[in-house]
Amino acid sequence: MKIVVIGGSGHIGSFLIPRLVRGGHEVINISRGNSPPYADVPEWQQVLQVTADREHEEREGIFGDRVAGLGADVVVDLICFTLESATALVNRLRGETGHLLHCGSIWRYGVSLKLPITEGADSAAEPTDDYGIRKRDIAGMLKEETAAGGLATTSIHPGHIVGPGWLPIGPLGNLDPGVWHTIASGRPLQVPGSGTELMHHVHADDVAQAFEKAIENRDAAAGEDFNIVAPTALTVRGYVNIASSWFGQEPRMETVTWEDFRRTTTPEYADSSWAHLSRNHCMSIQKATSLIGYAPGYEPEQAVRESLQWLISNGQLQLPKLLT
């Protein structure tokens, strides 16, 4: 098949595009610049690169024409963030493309109500942040499009993506590198809340696998939405325990109030921690497993460890080497 990937040079695309090439597909990557993928593998030499500024071309009303003009059997949209953008692409591809896949987010769910959170159930409250609301609305529009007999669509909703090349969401639910220095040195880590809050990570290659499986199983995936995460979720306390062992340290935690926590960090890190931990997310992957054969290869701690190992080895995080 001819497959167009929009935004394929990022985290997910760095793993998805090589998978598609190895699967024998003709692959075209649409990206804004020439930044290299996170995983530099020979399969990229077989990929046609198309440079396009999506935001500019959408304002000009020509982006949909560009995508449709490539004559793809499948379009994978990894960088769509508004309902207007998604709707415009659906309208242009309807009747011309066999399958459109959209990358959503588990933040289409608000705070958890029942665990694990399943698709289409009353497991979580509605999202309250703009990003989550947009992802929820896009997923709903896509389901309605396919149910009405229009374009075949699928939305994939990853958890907190980790992998080589970038810093993972840490045990406090933010990207503060100081958290890793505290853990590696064996100093007490101040944790807001109870330490039982949940986060659900996923390796970027497992997200790529889900897209590949949905493409291969179009009939089962058409009109569906899937939570895509690791087999298990991490509690804050469990995350600290596991991470401490990587550096040969005993886990040391001090639970503090959110007010006290905010006084010890930046507003950006504090807001990120609240956004992740207050949701208390643990997702079910049963639907993806049963319908498209999704089989994640990484537990969350394995994905995080791989990410940290890459950062340490490449001099981007000054920490002791991880214990073998």
Q: Is the pTM of this model over 0.95?
A: yes
Which pLDDT score is estimated for 25?
A: 98
Beta-carbon contacts of residue 105 (< 8 Å; ≥ 6 apart): 131, 132, 135, 157, 158
Q: Would the pLDDT of 125 be above 90?
A: yes
Confidence of residue 38 (pLDDT cuts 50, 70, 90): confident
69-93: b or e for each residue (b if 16 or more CB lie within 10 Å)? eeebebbbbbbbeebebbbbbbebb
Q: Quick: pLDDT tens for 257-309.
A: 999 999 999 999 999 999 999 999 999 999 999 999 999 999 999 999 999 99
For the stretch 194-244, pLDDT in tens is 999 999 999 999 999 999 999 999 999 999 999 999 999 999 999 999 999
Torsion of CA 10, 6, 23, 153, to 10 degrees: 120
7's tokens: 């935004």
CB crowding 252-269: b at 16 or more within 10 Å, else e: ebebeeeeebbeebeeeb
Averaged over 23-52, what is the pLDDT?
A: 89
pLDDT reading at 35 higher than 80: no
- The CA distances from residue 168 to 30, 50, 84, 100, 179, in Å, are 26, 29, 30, 29, 11
What are the distances in angstroms from CA 96 to CA 60, 101, 118, 150? Answer: 21, 14, 32, 11
> Model confidence over 145-177: pLDDT tens digits?
999 999 999 999 999 999 999 999 999 999 999
